[in-house]
Chain A
Amino acid sequence: MQRELYDLYAKKMMMVCLRYAPTTFEAEDIVQEGFVKVFANIGNFKKDCPLEFWIRKIMVNTALKYLRQKSLLTVSHETEEAENVSAGNYNLDAYSLDELLGMIQRLAPRYRMVFNLYAIEGYNHKEIGEMLEISEGTSKSQYSRARAILQNMLVNQDKPYQEHVINR
């Protein structure tokens, strides 16, 4: 039964974790830890939401904890250059999923986390602030920066974006 559940959701959850983790190996670690939590707490699942949503939430929380443990969620030092969005147009559909994923993974950990939580998972800034233990305003400003950086990447896809980020 556990194996069946794993087979059913492992691929989707791997993609979720890849968006948060900087490398595939770390994403697999998060998947492993997340599924252990899922199986250990499956009895607590109250069926008030879809099972996939519940598992996804566990994966996101596990990723958050993982990145925090690795001290990857500390504030990064960035140059103002990151906020200078160059004018231009882009077509998101022209990019493959791997390319989009690569761009998200290139974001600084804190920006990546805020961007994922807000843009893809659909959390609001207040919830993100509580999850990351930052203020709502900080969440907003970090999201704006992350979004600007991503847009720069999309516009300048041919010349890979040089993110001036010092990862701690």
Chain B
Amino acid sequence: MLSTDNNEHGGLEQRLQQRFQDAEATPGPDVWSRIDYDLAMLENKRYKKRALFYRQLAAACFILFILSGAALLLHFRQDTNHDLVAHANEANPQNQAASQPATETIAFNQAEDQSLVESEAGSVKSRAANSSIIADAGSSENTSIINTDLTIQKPANTPAKTETGSRSVNNKKADHTQQYSGTIAAVQQNQQVNPESVLENKEQSITAVYMPASQAIANVPDSYTSPESLNPLLLRNATLGTIGSTATTPQSIALEKPENVLAAATEQEKEEGTKENSRWNVGLGYASTYFTQNVNIPRQMITSMVIRRIDGTPPPGPTISGESEENLRDAYTEFYDNTEAALSFNIDAKAGFRIGKRFKILSGLGYSQNTSRTRTSYVVEQFLVNPVTNERVKLQPTTIFLPSLHTFTTDSISVIKTDPFSVDYSYQMLSVPLGAQVEGNLGKQWFWYANGSMAANFLIQSSIKSARAEVASVTYGPTDDSPFRKVQFSGNVGFGFGKRLSDALQVSFGPEYRSYFKTMLTDDKAAVSQGKPYTIGVNMGISYTLGK
């Protein structure tokens, strides 16, 4: 037996470890291409998953935006209605009294005539809902008016109540009778849909003032025979002296003509609607900017190649001649020195909602085309060797930018110096901004503003276009496997001045700065440290306030 038999980590293991520790075996030449393919598939799968997530996110944001808008709109309309009621009541104090809450009316009636309320308590309570509807009807809301008619013209709905109410009235003193006469008069004011009944009611009302109470009640038309079918809120009108006032000043009846009230209310509605609608505005903005892409390409690639070649080991990338190597180095330097911001633009269509006097929330849709430019004098040619025929295939020439972003997978590379030509890097994005703006007056017509927003930016197309015909221009669509980041967020700040051209129309002008939160290149393509892109420019906007 060997000495290692009883010592498991003995000589055998140690010597095997030493032998295998740094041992190497060359994998087949196609292993890397298989890995590359797998990685591409993996990236594609990840991208699809990410794209799906962002699509869902965008859809959710859109739905949220629509729902929020709808909720705000609804809220704003309700406000309008309430204000309209208030204004209508200002124009007609009787309606104001009629629009008091049902509970208040009940309490008031209890104080006014306990016995009457006792006899009618059940009826009054059961009519609480109808009362509020009738009160609203007095504020000229069309649907409510229809409800009023229905309430009044359907005595069959409350036959028992009608009977009870009539009996009660007949048994009361004259002031109670006067109350019901007043109630009828008040109802006349609320009958705004049927002109015939309105006129008829008016006559009856006037008649009621000058005739005995019993006669007045007797003259009530069939459709009004049930005081209980009338809004109990109107009892308060009568008690508060509607009749009294009309008796002393008959002209007030004319002033309270339904047509006049309706007209006044409509006018109020228009005015109020105008004021409230001015919360919303829509606008268009155009920004002329300079875009700095801040893309760095891996310069050290060439260094590693040189070192390996000195060591005598084969380079990891394609083979390259000494002259090309020198040109490659110059091309890198040139890219760093000659890449500069180019004229870009951004268009936004936004909807704004005013909060308070100075603040606005803005959101919408934007499109931007960001461009950077390099002036270069080097063309990169790459070659592939067909393993079967051993034939050398030349790929379409490019600039140093593209092969630097992709791993060198070609067999050889040649860098040729030519006349200088320009290369444009263009990135087209769709963006969904969400921001806030604060404004202040600088006089009657002028104002200042400052805004800040964040946006989700979706790269819809990126292209590298060369001014030299022989150099290939490359365009990546939204689904292509591009080295550029497809979705990223940005922050935007701006300020400036504006002028109100009219009540509804205003223009603005001011500088803006937009910074993207991530680099243009995706992380796996960014072999060296990358800068974050940004734009600086001037924004011009026009906005229109809705409803003015």
Q: Which residues of A contact B (CB under 8 A)?
A: 1-4, 6-7, 10-12, 14-15, 18-19, 24, 27-28, 31-32, 35-36, 39-40, 43, 85, 87, 89, 92-93, 97, 100, 118-120, 122, 143-144, 147, 150-151
Contact = CB atoms under 8 A, between A and B. Distances in A.
Interface string B16-40: 1101101111111001101110110
Interface of B: 1-2, 5, 8-9, 11-13, 15-17, 19-20, 22-28, 31-32, 34-36, 38-39, 42, 298, 304, 316-317, 407-409, 523-524, 527
Contacts of B523: 43
Contacts of A6: 32, 35
A1 B298 contact: yes
B28 A122 contact: no
B379 to A, nearest CB: 23
Contacts of A150: 12
Contacts of A11: 24-27
8 contacts: A12-B24, A14-B24, A27-B25, A32-B38, A43-B523, A93-B15, A97-B20, A120-B20
Contact of A3 (B5, B15, B32): B32
Given A3-B316, A120-B17, A14 B27 contact: yes
B26 A147 contact: no
A32 B31 CA distance: 6
Contacts of B12: 92, 119, 147, 150-151
Contact of A36 (B16, B25, B38, B407): B38
B405 to A, nearest CB: 11
A92 B20 contact: no
B15 A92 contact: yes
Nearest to B304: A4
Contact of B17 (A7, A93, A122): A122
A151 B2 contact: yes
B31 A3 contact: no
A4 B260 CA distance: 88
B499 to A, nearest CB: 52
Contacts of B304: 4
Nearest to B27: A14
Contacts of B15: 92-93
A120 B23 CA distance: 12
A140 to B, nearest CB: 8
A36 B38 CA distance: 7
Contacts of A119: 9, 12-13, 16-17
Contacts of B27: 10-11, 14, 27-28, 31
B16 to A, nearest CB: 6
Contacts of A35: 35
A59 B23 CA distance: 15
Contacts of B26: 10-11, 14
B5 A10 contact: no
Contacts of A3: 32, 316-317, 407-409
